[in-house]
Each structure stands twice: as C-alpha cells, then as structure tokens.
Structure 1
Amino acid sequence: PKLVAFVPSNPSTEAQTKRWAKSLASRSDHPVSHSIVAGLDGAVAEVDAFQALLGRGVEGVVEGKRMVLGNHRLIKERQQSDARLEAELSGHEAQGRTVTLLADETGVLGIFAVADTIKASSIEAVARLQKLGVVPVMLTGDNVATAQAVGREAGIAEVRGGLLPEDKLAAIKELRERHGATAMTGDGINDAPALAQADIGFAMGGAGTDTAMEAADVVIMNDDLGRIAETIGLSRRTHAVLMQNITLALGIKAVFFVLAVFGSATMWMAVFADMGASLLVVGNGLRLLRKHND
C-alpha cells in the first residue's frame, strides 16, 4: 500500500495534522499505518494512552490531545461524519482506495487515502489456487467499494468488505459449512480469530503481526501468496505418495503371508517382504523432492 492523497480539514494546521497522524500510525502494526508513516515527512511526537481499536483503528493522546486514527466505520460511530465528508470519502473509495481519518473531540482533522497495488504474483497466485480447485474469497475490513475494486483486479469473484474480526470469524464458519475444509490467510490482529478458527491458517511472516503468526498454522516468511498454492500441491502429492506406500507395503506382506501359509515362502522372500518393501517405499517417497509446477 502507498499513501496517495492527504487532505487536511484546515490547511493552516497541515504540518500539525501530519505530525499527529504519523505519531499515531507509527505505533500501529497495520500495513495501512506503515504506508502513512512512510508517506509523511517530519518527526513523530510521543503518544500516551495508546490503544488499538479492533477493526476500527487506534487511539492515543498526542501533545495533550486525545485523537483517533481510524477507518470510515469509526468516524461514523463517533458521529463525526457529514454529507460533505461522505461525498469526499466516496470519491476515494470508488477508486479502490483505503481511507483513514484523523479526528479529535471536535471533528475530523485530516483524510489519508492509501492505494493498494496488486502484485502480478498475487494475481497469478489466485489463478493457481483456482486451477487447484480452491475457491478464493476475500474477507476484509476495508470498505466494500475498495474491496470489490481490488477483488476484480485479483480475479476474486466473492468479496466481502467492511468486516470486523467477529464478522470474519462468522464468515469462516459459514464457508466451512458450504465448501468443507477452509483455509484463511491474513497478517493483522483483526485476522487472528479467523486464522485460529480455520482448518488451516496461513500468516504473512514479513508484514504480519506476532498475533497473526501465533494464531496461524503456517507462516509464509516471504509474503508470497504463491506459496499457498505450492503448499496445497505438495500436501496433495504427499498424501498420494503416502497412500501408495501403505498399499505397496501391505500388498507385499499380504502376498508373502499367503505364500507362507501354503509353504511356498523362502528366506529370501521374507527378506524382500521386510527390507525390500522398506526400500521401495523410501524410493517412492523420494519422488517428492522433484520440482513440480502446480
């Protein structure tokens, strides 16, 4: 994500607004906050009484003023939105941007618009998952318009935006009932409950939070979504080889048992049924080391 627009409510206090927003954002581990910090110049001020507002943003006291840096939902809940602000936010959201607002007790102080650029590798990863028979679904706390724009670009048909952590949790339960085994990929605190609820959770190790990584079953250290398709493909091949090895080992021993019952078995047959079967299953398992293109 990259900060692409900043609109202060009062141009005369633009420098202050930037400093306050950057100070709050610097205490957050959300990717949008990282983008705001990277996109604003200047130093940061000390933040007291800092706390995360799950699914909404962050709150803290900066230079003696209590402020929040959060999403559209938070501002609505604080009843600090009006028709003019809604129109301006709609314009950004229609372009697929994620909007974050800085506000204090008096009202909104500034608007920060962050644009997500879809990596070509991510679009390819979605296509690979679909080729494997996996149904991709996007669950995000971003507004619906932004989520749908990103989903279209990524090739994801089912997109659900404006979700809180509990909404993502409910969605995982619903998808499991509809499709069966369900995996979840996420990187933030808001994703942790859904990551833990899913049959298998994938966390992003590079940009992900510690909470998300602790809740997940698999951590993707290079943040490459293509690794999910690789993991699924490898798991399926491993399962197939495992079943082949079990069938092969039991089959050889069953044949030797029948020969032994009828008195036709020899010592060399016994050696083959034991050590020979072990070598065969090991050799078959080594096929997994070969590179596959899923």
Structure 2
Amino acid sequence: MQAIHKGVPAVQQSSKLPDPRKRRRHSLLSMLRHREIVLALGSGLLMLTAWGVGSISQTVSVFIYVAAYFMGGFLQAKEGLETLIKERDLDVNLLMIAAALGAASIGYWNEGAMLIFIFALSGALESFASERSQKDISELISLKPETAVRVGEDGMKVVAVEDLVIGDLLIVKPGEIIPADGLVRSGGSAVNQATITGESIPVDKSIGDNVFAGTLNGEGALYVEVTSPAEGTLFAKIIALVEQAQNETPESQRFIKRLEGVYAKVVVAATAGLILLAPLLLGWSWSFTFYKAMVFLVVASPCALVSSVMPAMLSAMSKSARKGVLFKGGAHMDNLGNTQVVAFDKTGTLTAGQPVVTELFVAEGYDRLEVLAACASAESLSEHPLARAIVERAAIEGVQLREAEDMKSITGWGIEARVDGRIWRIGKAEEHDAAMPDGLLARLKKLASEGNTVSLIMQDNNYVGLIALQDTLRSQAVAVISKLREMGIATVMLTGDRSETAKAVARAAGVDQAFGDLLPEDKVNHIKNLRKKHGHIVMVGDGVNDAPALAAATVGMAMGGGGTGAALEVADVVLMNDNLEMVAETVALARRARKIVKQNLVFAAGIILTLIIGNFVQGISLPLGVIGHEGSTLLVILNGLRLLR
C-alpha cells in the first residue's frame, strides 16, 4: 500500500468524460432521433411551397400537397393504424388524418396540409417535452464508466467495470469519472457529485470517505477500495429508477387515454350521422353538409385534451431530476399533487441518525471527567452508534482514554469492561429499577421526558451516574415542517424509538403528531389508517424497517444518500441529496403541475365546445377550425413546458 503514495503512474486512463467527437456524434444521433421535428418542418415547408406554386400550376401544387401530407402524416397514420389493428380502437391520429383527407377531397388542400403540419408539430413538441424529461438520465448514461485501473500485486491493469469485485483497489486520476462505489484509501480530492446528489459544489474527499460511481474526480488522485459490484452501485440504481419512470403513466393520462378511444368513436359516428342525416332532416346540400362535417371532424378531435397531461408531468419530473429528486413514474408526480398528510420516519430522516451526548450526570462523590474517561474507555471497543457518541464526547472534552480489558456485551442491556481494575457497566436505564437512588431516578425521568436515550453507569455494583444521548434534528427539519403546514398539509412522525423520545423530537421539529414504539407492521397500519381518513399520504423514510410503510403509502419517498437498498427499491420518489427541504418543494411543484393540467383540460374542453357550437350556430370556415383546434393543442403543450424554466 505504501507504493500508492509515490505519485500517480502513467497508465491508460480509466473512464473519462466523452471527448468532443463523441459529443458531436451524440448530438447528431439525437437530432436524427427527433425525426418528428424534421418531418413536421418539412411538411410545413412543402405546404408553403404548394401554396406558392398554386397560382402557376394547380396540378404541380396538388402533387406537392400530397408530398406534404405524406411527410407530415406518415408517423401519425402508422401509429393510428397500429392502434386500430392491434387494439381494435380508434385514436386521435386517425381522426386527424381522416379530417385532412376529407378537406382535400372537397378541394381544401391547403387547409388539410395545415392541419397535418400543425398536428405533426404539436406531436414533435410533446416528444420534446419527453426528451427534456429524460435529458438528465441520458447525460448520466453518457457518463457511465466502462473501464477502471485496478492496482494489484502485478501492478496496474485496465479492466472492465463489470469485472470489479468488492475489495479491489482502484486508482482514479484527476479529471476522471470514478468507476465504482467505494472508500477512499489514500489521496484527497474534491469530487463533483452533481450526477448523483444534485449538489452543484464539489465535495472534499479524503481517507475513509465514500465515493460514488459516475461522479467526477477533481484535482487530486484517489485510491479507492471497491465496496459494491457494478450492478449494485448507486449510479446503476439511479439509471434503473429513471428508466422505470419512463414506463409509468399518471392516472389522469390513463383516464384521458381511455376517454380518447370512446370519444374518437363518438366523433366518427357523429360525423357519419351528420353526413347521412343532415341532407334529409335539414335540407342541406351534399357539398354544404360534407363541408360542415369536415369542420366538425377537425374541431371535435381531442388533440388538445390528449396533450394536456404528459408535457406538464414530464416537465415537472425533469425539473425535479435537476435538483436531485428522482421519480419512478409520472403517476407519482400526479399523486403527490394530492398530498394531504406527510408521515416521516425519525432516525436518519427528520434526525441526522448520529446521536450525541447531551448530558453526563454523576452521583455525589464521583468526578465527572473520571467517569467520562472510564465510560469512553469501555465503549471504545464497541461499534454501536451510542458508544461512538460517548467516545467522541470524551475527545471533545480532551479526556485521555485508558486501556479497557475483558469487554463483553450484555444482551439486551449494554456492555461491561474492566478499566483500571474496576468493573464498569454502561447500559439501558430502567425507570422501574427499585435499587436506583432517588436523585438518579428523578434525573432519569426528566432526561427521558426530554427525548433523551439514557444509559445507566455502574462501577462494580455501585450506581455512578447517567449519560443522556439524543439524535440531533436535521438542519432543514423545522423549515420543511413549517413549509408543509403553510401548504395546509398535516405532518406525522412514525418511529420505533420510545414514545417519549418521539414526542420530544416532534415538539422540536413542529410535527403535528408522533407515534413511537412502532414495529414495521405498526407503521404500515398507521399509514393505512391515515389513508382511510385523509386520502393521499406521503411516507418519507430511509431504513429497512421503513420499506413496508413506504410501499403502503400513496407515495413513498426514500432518502437516497444514506438510505438502504430496500427503501430505495420500494420508494416511488428518491431524494438523492437527502435534502429534506425538497419534500415540501417537490410537493409544491407537483401541485403546480396538477394546476397546469387542470388549466389545460378546462381550456381544451372549452375551445372544443366553443368551436363545435360555432360550427353549427354561426358557421366556421375550415381554415379557422384548423387554426383554432391545432392552436389550442400547441398552447396546452407550451403551457406544460413552462415548468422546465
């Protein structure tokens, strides 16, 4: 291991940022993938050309219009026919193609071409919204490390990331992408973790710190010990989460999709009925009836309704991803907008999960620092979080540790060790301990009522004192609870910790209700009861014991930075940077998205109804119907895209 301090050897570099040529190729491929935009713009250009040529040669103009129809309507016609053949259902694509062909059949070539052009353009815009929602993940995938430089007995060797195993030692040069999750064993650097946590400022890393695959090393060399195989890295999990999100559809969109099939059949039936019955019942001429029917077919098509939901939801998901909040699907963004109650786990969620000593109380006749030294010496042999907190307290107060011997764990209570020839025991303080002196018992009750976890200190068989420890609130906890309250959302805390501790932490954070002493199944029962009473419930947690409650909630949010794999798997939303403030901010964004969806639906329905009534009462020209209908579609898409700002 000493060799790694002698500088960074000149070996083939591991995973680097894509070079400019790769980026240019990626951009070209990206443009080719957006064939909807190319075809839509090409269709519009041909439409204008045909209109200009029309004054010279009608025959040539018609041929150019046919080309415009084919270029702009090919993808829509293909999709509509696939729906008709495979699902035996009509959709808006076939309606629009039928309306355009109907317009052409009565000589309105330009209006039909305009309909095709604007319909294709609106579809391209919706694809753009989808692309923007996936932009963060596509950029992340482009940074996926492929190789690593492994340090072994036979020197340094470039290997595939998939071949790495836990315990391998890697070297990561300045400017390279870290190829695997691991621990820094030597060196120091600032690492840009924006791809994982959303943090814009690089984080200093030194010996013992965790680093993540897919993050960018800064100015220093790092020697990293692999702690996770390639498929188990946080990076790989993020990709899997977002890829899953692409296949999830909001309930509102599923409703619109179901409505589309029924609505399309009604419009086709109404158009056919109008063509067949109007001349007989109303005495309209054939040409007048067919024209009215074509206008009706155009203005009644549900394009704007169909485009009201997904652009807004996808834009909101993209904005969240840029801030380190990943959704597994648009359905969860939709549900989050209806949140009535947010339930929090305590340890590691509202609190930092790192207990600190809040008080050391010793009985009369004992020296406080001597007692602290003995406790810390005994606890120094333990890896328990409470033990580490006691050792850290001793270090803060400058207490020198002594040699501890014969340390052993007392199951269900605490530890025992020999320090300076005396037996010291530190363990759970019980309020029903009848032998405890009255002074210690009174202090124990007070400390416990304040939310402390209290340990009893004994020397041989003598009661020496009490040491109180408490998990500290996250710095953002009070702010996020306050923000949720301002939004009219109630808050609940569910924890396996003692009820007294739960209530004390809830008071400090401002949480409305707290429930303690809960097993995982108890948390699930509370979530179910809350859902029955209030409707949409969000659960925020980080541990294995939170996984059942996360799954039972309407929307489960997991703390991605320190959360367990089980919590990440079952959660619907992942806070990659563990920033609690993003809970309230994300709920607010989801509400904005739902508000925009409602605006779009009301606007789209209003425009369709107005145009239908206008067609039969006042009379609307086909060009005006095309502009009104397709213009409303473009407006609802643009209204959804404004969440990308």
TM-score normalised over the length of structure 1: 0.69
Partner of 1:234: 589
Whether the aligned pair in 1 keeps the contact of 2:356 and 2:472 (CA below 8 Å) is: no
Quote how far apart the aligned CAs of 1:16 are: 6.9
- Aligned counterparts of 2:388 and 2:576: Cα–Cα separation in 1: 18
Q: Determine if contact 1:98/1:142 at 8 Å carries over to the other structure.
A: no
Give the whole-Å Cα distance in 1 for the aligned partners of 2:387 and 2:376. 18
Report sequence identity in percent. 39
- Which letter maps to 1:202? M
Shift of 1:100: 7.1
Could you tell me whether the CA contact under 8 Å between 1:206 and 1:223 is conserved in 2? yes
Contact 1:18 1:40 in 2 (8 A): no
Aligned residues of 1:140 and 1:162 also touching (Cα < 8 A): yes
Partner of 1:147: helix, strand, or coil?
Answer: helix
Query: Of 14, 18, 26, which residue of structure 1 is paired with 2:379?
Result: 18
Q: Which residue among 157, 163, 166 is the counterpart of 2:512?
A: 157
- Which residue does the alignment assign to 1:190? 545
- Which string of whole-angstrom CA distances, capped at 9 and with x for unpartnered residues, describes residues 32-85 of structure 1? 7886787688xxxxxxxxxxxxxxxxxxxxx996764779xx979xx9x84439
Give me the whole-angstrom Cα distance separating, in 2, the residues matched to 1:288 and 1:35. 45
Name structure 2 gaps, 5 residues minimum.
1-353, 362-370, 396-405, 415-426, 458-464
Query: What stretches of structure 1 of length at least 5 have no aligned partner?
Result: 26-31, 42-62, 103-109
Tell me, in whole angstroms, the C-alpha distance in 2 between the residues paired with 1:70 and 1:253: 72
SS at match of 2:472: coil
Letter in 2 for 1:164: L
The counterpart of 1:2, out of the listed 350, 355, 362, is 355
Shift of 1:122: 1.2
1:201 alignment counterpart = 556
Q: SS at 1:159's partner residue?
A: strand
- CA distance in structure 2 between the aligned counterparts of 1:202 and 1:101, rounded to whole angstroms: 37
Asked which structure has the greater RCO (Cα within 8 Å, sep 6+), the reply is: 2
What is the 5 A alignment of 1:238-257?
238-257=593-612
Deviation for aligned residue 1:172: 1.2
Change (3 A) 1:35 1:232: farther
Counting matched residue pairs gives: 257
1:121 maps to which of 476, 479, 491: 476
Cα shift readout 1:17-46 (whole Å, capped 9, x = no counterpart): 42443x355xxxxxx7886787688xxxxx
Mark the CA change 1:64 to 1:82 in structure 2 (over 3 Å): closer, same or farther: same
Instruction: Give TM-score, length-normalised by structure 2.
Output: 0.34
What's the secondary structure of 1:136's corresponding residue? strand
State yes or no: 1:147 paired with 2:502.
Answer: yes
Equivalent pair of 2:614/2:620 in contact (CA under 8 Å): yes
Separation in 2, partners of 1:40, 1:283: 61
Residue by residue, what CA displacement relative to the aligned partner does 1:126-166 show, whole Å, maximum 9, x if unpaired? Answer: 11111111111111122122222211111123221222212
3-state SS in 1 of match to 2:473:
coil
Give, in angstroms, the shift of residue 281 of structure 1.
0.7
Q: In 2, distance between residues paired with 1:194 and 1:156? A: 18
Assess, with a 3 A threshold, how the Cα gap between structure 1 residues 194 and 152 changes in structure 2: closer, same or farther.
same
Q: How far apart, CA to CA, are the structure 2 residues paired with 1:255 and 1:34?
A: 71
Residue number in structure 1 paired with 2:628: 273
CA distance in 1: counterparts of 2:562 and 2:453, whole angstroms:
18
Query: How much has 1:111 moved relative to structure 2?
Result: 8.2
Aligned to 2:529: 174
Whole-angstrom CA distance in 2 between matches of 1:268 and 1:70: 83
Task: State the superposition RMSD in angstroms.
Answer: 4.1
Query: What's the secondary structure of 2:476's corresponding residue?
Result: helix
Q: Which residue of 2 aligns with 1:218?
A: 573
* Contact map agreement 1:2 1:39 (CA 8 A) in 2: no
Q: Distance in 1 between matches of 2:387 and 2:574?
A: 22
Equivalent position of 1:48 in the other structure: none
